[in-house]
Amino acid sequence: MPGLFGGSSRKSEEHLRKSLTYNPNSAASLYFLAETLIDDGKKDEARLTLQKLLDAPINPDWAPEDRDFKQKARELLAKLR
């Protein structure tokens, strides 16, 4: 959350990319990375990130959350087109 508590979008992107080294298919990390990229004007990369989220398998341990992030990703991707 770059705008809150004095954070920066650069740090947000750095931390989200680091989290993806542990779980490249993390729906939450991919979604929040896409939001950060959009805020930084990197819309093409955000589109690719959102598509990766949509293509990622649903983690059975996080199925409800993954489905929610996939729905949000579809909506956000539609706005970017």
1-50 pLDDT tens trace? 445 555 788 999 999 999 999 999 999 999 999 999 999 999 999 999 99
Give the pLDDT band (50/70/90) at residue 81: confident
Our count of domains for the chain comes to 1
Is there a domain that residue 1 lies in?
Answer: no
Is there a domain that residue 65 lies in?
Answer: yes
Q: How many CB atoms lie within 10 A of CB 16?
A: 21
Is there a domain that residue 18 lies in?
Answer: yes
Contact 9, 36 (CB under 8 A): yes
Q: Rounded to whole angstroms, what are the CA distances from 1 to 15, 52, 55, 57?
A: 11, 21, 25, 26
Q: Left, alpha or beta for 4 (phi > 0: left; psi -120 to 50: alpha)?
A: beta
Q: Is the pTM of this model over 0.85?
A: yes
Is there a domain that residue 2 lies in?
Answer: no
Q: Which domain holds residue 76?
A: 9-80
Is there a domain that residue 33 lies in?
Answer: yes
Is there a domain that residue 3 lies in?
Answer: no
pLDDT digit string, tens, across residues 64-78: 999 999 999 999 999
pLDDT digit string, tens, across residues 36-54: 999 999 999 999 999 999 9
Is there a domain that residue 50 lies in?
Answer: yes
